[in-house]
Amino acid sequence: MVGLTLAGCSQDNTPTAYDEVTEANFMQGCTGADTGEQGASEDYCRCAYQWFVDNVPINAEAATEQGLPEEPNFTQLNKDLSNDPEALPADIRDALATTCGSGPRVPGTTPGTPLPGTSLPG
């Protein structure tokens, strides 16, 4: 549903918090600004990012601190989606569609397959 590219200057560019950098990178990936391809609308991407902030811990450590299961977490979803663009769990796809609308679609996939949520560079 959303495209997320997490880029940074450090060797390990995995996000450790929902912050301005994570949001900016999410927005770039989601809207396609980082690739020059058309992604989702800015409104959709802002909604999707906020949904992740409100519903998905940033990483396993944050999940444990919040008394939640370690997965799904934003970092793991990012890793999974970088390996398989269709790996976004159905319950998350459904929640994003319900909250934010249908968003863009992945070319070459079954109709109704939302654009994946995340991808790390490299």
- Residue 62 in any domain: the answer is yes
Say if 24 falls within a structural domain. yes
Q: Check whether the bond before 114 is cis (ω within 30° of 0).
A: no
Q: Flag whether 2 is in a domain.
A: no
The stretch 40-51 carries a mean pLDDT of 93
Residue 30 lies in a domain: yes
Integer Cα distance of 62 and 70 in angstroms: 8
Q: Contact 58/17 with Cβ under 8 angstroms? A: yes
15 domain residue, yes or no: no
Q: Is 65 contained in some domain?
A: yes
3-class DSSP state of 43: helix
What's the average model confidence in pLDDT over 69-88? 87
Domain total in the chain: 1
What pLDDT, on a 0 to 100 scale, did the predictor assign at position 99? 93
* pLDDT category of residue 120 using cuts at 50, 70 and 90: very low
Asked whether residue 107 is domain-assigned, the answer is: no
- Kindly report which listed range (19-28, 63-72, 99-108) carries the lowest average pLDDT score: 99-108
pLDDT of the residue at 13: 67
Q: Is residue 44 part of a domain?
A: yes
Burial of 43: CB neighbours in 10 Å, binned 0-12, 13-18, 19+: exposed
- What pTM was computed for the model? 0.73
Domain containing 86 equals 20-100
Q: 8 versus 105: which is more confidently predicted?
A: 105
Higher pLDDT, 122 or 54: 54
Provide the mean pLDDT of the chain.
77
